Amino acid sequence: MSRRRRRWLVGVLAGFALVPVVLSVRAGAAAVQNSDFTVLYTAATLVRHGQLAAVYDQAKMGPALLQVSDGHIDPTLPFDYPLADALPLVPLTLLPLQAAFRVWQLLILLLLAAAVFILNRLHPLGPAAVPFGLLAVLAAEPTWALLTEGQLGGVLLVGAVAVLAAADRDVAGWGFLGGVLLAFKPQYLPAYLVLLWAGRCRRALVAVIAGGLLVGCSALLAGGPSGIAAMVRGMLAGSAWADLRSMDSWAGLLALGLPPRLAMIAGLGLFGATLIVLPVLARIHRVELASRARIRPIRASSPARVRSRTDGCAPSRARRLLRLGTPRIPICGARSVDPGLARRRTDLLPFAGLAGCLALLGSPHTLPHDMVLLLVPAWAAFVLHRQGRLRSPVAGLVILQVGWVVDLHGLPVSAGALALTGVLGWYLIDFKRRAAARPRLYEAA
């Protein structure tokens, strides 16, 4: 990209990044009192006072909502999350609602910055990737919704990045962190479990499941099994499915021609179908990786090349390498590097991008602020583009931004869901076309 185009891009992104600042200033106190953050803040207040069961009891939650918001919020809104979702906000309840909201916005920005930083450490895109990435995240419309509603998207994003880090080298610690954070909205967790299964990351997979169960079972503290039942009833409450057309998922598109109750059933069925399709796609991905490994050039593992790199090493080690013809190349005085392990990062990126998009499209309850999770597929797309395996993601991101902005005008159809579906299909076709040409390149090499 030329220097002039880069300046233009920075200017446009900076202009869009100022939108949430303007919205926060213009909204005022009434908008904060009517935001999703007020529901979380009220639940955290009840937790701080030891009233855990009251979080899922609408007869007690409703009056508490009215008291906290000074009557500006609908008292029928349920707390339809695991009880652990309220725990991070418990310290903020020592502050007034308005001050707590501003602190939470600052924490959201820090979480977004942490996600970009970790992604660049996992899959470097250059020294300017972190500031450019953070500026692009702030300029995206889902971040506007995230900051104005005070939702949990920043926590989910760090959880998704942590799972990607766990898949890098099958690390249980990153997996447990990712499972805990992604379970704050458990409908997105299965896609990342399938990602770890596709990468054969058994330790990380077990750790993610353990972290997810820990958060999911936190509702037991609100009255045992009845707390779990109350949480599920809150998730399936009518107010949570009042207008599926506002969802940025396929369920939102189905709701255009179906009554609310039938649309809810169809959305849950579509979610189940997505959970079935993802493992099938993961299996196909694993088969493709195996076939690609069989046609990969073996020049690096030929005896002559291995012999040239074993000079001066221990004779027994050199003989074993020559006999096995292994691609693990020893370097005297340094730890050997396994190309098969090093390729895991890149080989999982295509499926990570696909699973991240399907997790959002297949979920029956995907709101605009949840779309910040697209940072992981977008980063994967830029890495694949640098490797020549995918076209530039810039055009697709522009289409998504246009769709999200159009949605702000209250159209009867979810333009964001349509845009993401179209962009995903477009880039999937492009990736398959380029991948089909790679075996010929291998054979020619």
pLDDT at 97: 92
pLDDT at 445: 43
Q: Decide: 356 and 373 in contact? Cβ < 8 Å.
A: yes
- Mean pLDDT for the chain? 82
> Each residue of 343-383: pLDDT tens digit?
555 588 999 999 999 999 999 888 889 999 999 999 999 99
Q: Which of these ranges, 31-40, 320-329, 433-442, has the smallest mean pLDDT? A: 320-329
For 93, 152, 203, 217, 231, the CA distances from 221, given in Å and listed in that order, are 20, 21, 28, 8, 11
pTM: 0.85
Q: Decide: 80 and 240 in contact? Cβ < 8 Å.
A: yes
What does the alpha-carbon distance between residue 428 and residue 365 come to, in Å, rounded to a whole number? 24
Reported confidence tier of residue 237, pLDDT bands at 50, 70, 90: low
Report which DSSP code applies to 364: S
Reported confidence tier of residue 283, pLDDT bands at 50, 70, 90: confident
> Each residue of 384-399: pLDDT tens digit?
999 999 999 999 999 9
Q: Decide: 373 and 153 in contact? Cβ < 8 Å.
A: yes
Q: Decide: 404 and 371 in contact? Cβ < 8 Å.
A: yes
- Which has more pLDDT, 329 or 109? 109
Reported confidence tier of residue 338, pLDDT bands at 50, 70, 90: very low
pLDDT at 409: 77
Q: Which contacts of 226-233 are long-range, i.e. CB under 8 A and separated by 24 or more positions? A: 227/52, 227/53, 227/56, 227/83, 230/53, 230/56, 230/57, 231/56, 231/80, 231/81, 231/82, 231/83, 233/56
pLDDT at 243: 66
pLDDT at 330: 33
Q: Count of CB atoms within 10 A of residue 7's CB?
A: 10
pLDDT at 172: 93
Highest mean pLDDT among 6-10, 213-217, 256-260, 326-330: 213-217
pLDDT beyond 60 at 67: yes
> Each residue of 113-137: pLDDT tens digit?
999 999 999 999 988 899 999 999 9
pLDDT beyond 90 at 324: no
pLDDT at 38: 93
Q: Spell out the domain ranges in the chain.
A: 29-239+249-286+345-444
Q: Which of 302, 84, 308, 266 is nearest to 185 (CA)?
A: 84
Q: Which of 306, 325, 384 is nearest to 352 (CA)?
A: 384
pLDDT at 440: 53
Residue 329, beta-bridge partner list? 337
Reported confidence tier of residue 290, pLDDT bands at 50, 70, 90: low
**What's the start-to-end Cα distance of the chain, in Å?**
30
Structure tokens at 210: 């353990």
Q: Which of these ranges, 79-88, 165-174, 210-219, 241-250, has the smallest mean pLDDT? A: 241-250
Q: Which of 132, 109, 179, 180 is nearest to 11 (CA)?
A: 132
What does the alpha-carbon distance between residue 263 and residue 92 come to, in Å, rounded to a whole number? 37
pLDDT at 127: 83
pLDDT beyond 60 at 297: no
pLDDT at 293: 58
Q: Decide: 26 and 147 in contact? Cβ < 8 Å.
A: no
Give the percent of the chain with pLDDT over 90: 48
> Each residue of 142-173: pLDDT tens digit?
999 999 999 999 999 999 999 999 998 889 99
Q: Which of 89, 206, 102, 227 is nearest to 155 (CA)?
A: 89
Residue 331, beta-bridge partner list? 334
pLDDT at 345: 52
pLDDT beyond 50 at 277: yes
Residue 132, CA atoms < 13 Å, CB-side half-sphere: 16
Q: Count of CB atoms within 10 A of residue 173's CB?
A: 13
pLDDT at 302: 44
pLDDT at 294: 57
